[in-house]
């Protein structure tokens, strides 16, 4: 897994990358009450705003960590946005992206570096 300074995690699975927010981010946001996901098939560029999260504390935008195409979104979040709090690093994932430039992942932190970053 890789981690961004914006508290996103990236987990490669075959030719796609699963993206979500870290447990740290979900804790900071508080109870998540709404998640707006992009449409499958959307082509994104790194740093495009792709997900809107609303919590009891704030609204936040999640940006694309990689260039590529959105190939799947976590439909379960529409019915149960709290999944992003309950299992941020697992069932609470947001999107799966097929990267057009997988080497972009090299710029992100590993778990040890992320742990130090949030300390």
Our count of domains for the chain comes to: 1
Q: Which positions of the chain have pLDDT values less than 70?
A: none
Q: What is the reported pLDDT for 42?
A: 97
Residue 3's H or E segment, with its range, is strand 2-3
Residues 73-102 as b/e (b if ≥16 CB within 10 A, e otherwise) read bbeebeeebbbbbeebeeebbbbbbbbeee
- Domain assignment of residue 82, given as a range: 2-101
Q: What is the reported pLDDT for 118?
A: 96
Is 51 among the domain residues?
yes
Is 90 among the domain residues?
yes
Is 114 among the domain residues?
no
In the 8-state DSSP scheme, what is residue 38? P
Q: What is the reported pLDDT for 61?
A: 93
Q: What is the reported pLDDT for 19?
A: 97
E-only strand ranges, 7-115:
8-13, 16-21, 32-36, 43-44, 49-55, 59-63, 68-73, 95-99
Q: What is the reported pLDDT for 110?
A: 97
CATH number reported for the structural domain that contains residue 21 in this entry: 2.40.50.100
Q: What is the reported pLDDT for 60?
A: 92
């Amino acid at each position: 897994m890789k981690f961004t300074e914006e508290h996103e995690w990236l987990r490669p699975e075959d030719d796609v990358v699963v993206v979500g927010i870290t447990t740290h981010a979900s804790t900071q946001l508080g109870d998540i009450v709404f998640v707006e996901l992009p449409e499958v098939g959307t082509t994104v560029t790194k740093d495009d705003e792709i997900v809107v999260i609303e919590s009891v504390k704030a609204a936040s935008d999640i940006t694309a960590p990689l260039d590529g195409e959105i190939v799947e979104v976590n439909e379960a979040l529409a019915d149960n946005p709290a999944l992003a709090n309950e299992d941020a690093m697992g069932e609470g994932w947001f999107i799966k992206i097929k990267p057009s430039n997988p080497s972009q992942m090299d710029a992100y932190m590993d778990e040890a570096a992320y742990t130090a970053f949030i300390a």
